Amino acid sequence: MRMLLLILLLPMTAYAGMMSFSVSPSIIKYETVQGGIKAFDLTFINQGDNPLKADIQIMDFSLDNKGVPVITNKSNNTGQWARFVTIDKNNFKVDAKQSKKIHVTLKTPRGKPGGGYFAVVFNTSAPKLKRKSKGIQNVMTIGGQLPVLFIGEISRSGKRKVKVLKGAVNKAPYTNEKPFKLRFVLKNTGTTHVNVTGDVLLRHNKKVIGRLMLESGSGLILPQGERYFVATWAKSDRYANKKIQAEARFSYVGGRTSKKISFKIP
């Protein structure tokens, strides 16, 4: 019987058992032109004490509504450029404390304005060893998967447009472990990625009583993607049984948007 333990880790460094490896750079942001050729070099580094084997795939990638990368098989979906990418090697072995370079080439598509995205994924495991004893039946292979994310844009061709889908507050009761929170969902309806920042103005009887920063990591949203933005209000108990108006304000390169909601704190 053969057991396979697969550990999925995202950039920058992966550790699995006694294995330690990384890929540099882990995220590549770039601009290109329609029909142009763009080349990148990636370095795979085996930081462990044993040799490693890496199989490389070109895949689609997107972000979930919390900003976590989602890696899927390459497709013909708009904005996914994995099918336009080639690499100079599909697999290799790396000795302990050594590194290998891989050359990635993108032939930017024509007639595809806006942003394009793909991932180069390193599926890593220990090389197969010859069994010293026929009596050994259980063999465990430890491996890891490490993607490099490519975030590109055809220069001066992308449309940036973001809208707020909804806003809400979490349900009471509120405690130190479960504080009062405001949450907003944004959608990128443009053709290229945006980095969004935001805050919330709180008003009671038209008077500003607070300003909260909306948190969402980098705030990166890919085209047609959605993302949560959350703010915590530590002083909400001071306004129990009062009606509050909240205005969430979002900004990004090329635009702004906002959303107003009202609520009463029990």
Question: What is the secondary structure of 43-85 as a DSSP string?
Answer: EEEE-SSS-EEEEEEEEEEEE-TTS-EEEE-----TTB-GGGE
Residue 29 CA to residue 43 CA, distance in Å, equals 16
Report whether pLDDT(1) > 60.
no
What is the spatial distance between Cα 158 and Cα 147, in angstroms, rounded to a whole number? Answer: 25
Provide the pLDDT for residue 104.
98
| The pLDDT of residue 8 | 38
- pLDDT band at residue 54 using 50, 70 and 90 as cut-offs: very high
List, for residues 218-262, the tens digit of each pLDDT value: 999 999 999 999 999 999 999 999 999 999 999 999 999 999 999
pLDDT of residue 127: 83
**pLDDT value at position 10?**
38
Confidence category of residue 33, pLDDT binned at 50, 70, 90 = very high
Span 198-218, average pLDDT: 97
pLDDT for 11 equals 39
Q: Is 2 exposed, middle or buried (CB count within 10 Å of its CB: 0-12, 13-18, 19+)?
A: exposed
pLDDT at 95 over 60: yes
Least confident residue range of 109-113, 183-187, 197-201, 205-209: 109-113
The dihedral formed by the CA atoms of 130, 135, 137 and 138, expressed in degrees to the nearest 10: -80
Tell me what percent of the residues of the chain surpass a pLDDT of 70.
88
Residue 191: CB partners within 8 Å, gap ≥ 6? 79, 113, 114, 115, 157, 158, 159, 223
Which of 128, 133, 154, 120 lies closest to 43, judged by CA?
A: 120
Cβ neighbour number for residue 36 with a 10 Å cutoff: 14
Q: Which of 183, 190, 188, 189 is nearest to 166 (CA)?
A: 183
What number of H helices and E strands is found in the chain?
Answer: 0, 21
Lowest-pLDDT choice from 12-21, 78-87, 125-134 = 12-21
Under the banding of pLDDT at 50, 70 and 90, the label for residue 266 is confident
Domains delineated in the chain: 2-154 (2.60.40.10), 162-264 (2.60.40.10)
pLDDT of residue 146: 94
Please, which pLDDT band fits residue 143 given cuts at 50, 70 and 90?
A: confident
How confident is the model at residue 19, as a pLDDT?
A: 75
Q: In terms of Cα–Cα distance, which of 199, 171, 172 is closest to 184?
A: 199
Cα(first)–Cα(last) distance of the chain, in Å?
59
Return the pLDDT at 144. Answer: 87
Q: State the pLDDT confidence band at 141, using cuts at 50, 70 and 90.
A: low
Omega before 173 within 30 of 0, i.e. cis: yes
| Alpha carbon distance 24, 11 (integer Å) | 9
Q: Which two tokens stand for residue 225?
A: 């993607």
Tell me which DSSP letter residue 171 carries. P
Cα–Cα dist 245/258, whole Å:
13
Q: What local confidence, expressed as pLDDT, does residue 98 receive?
A: 97
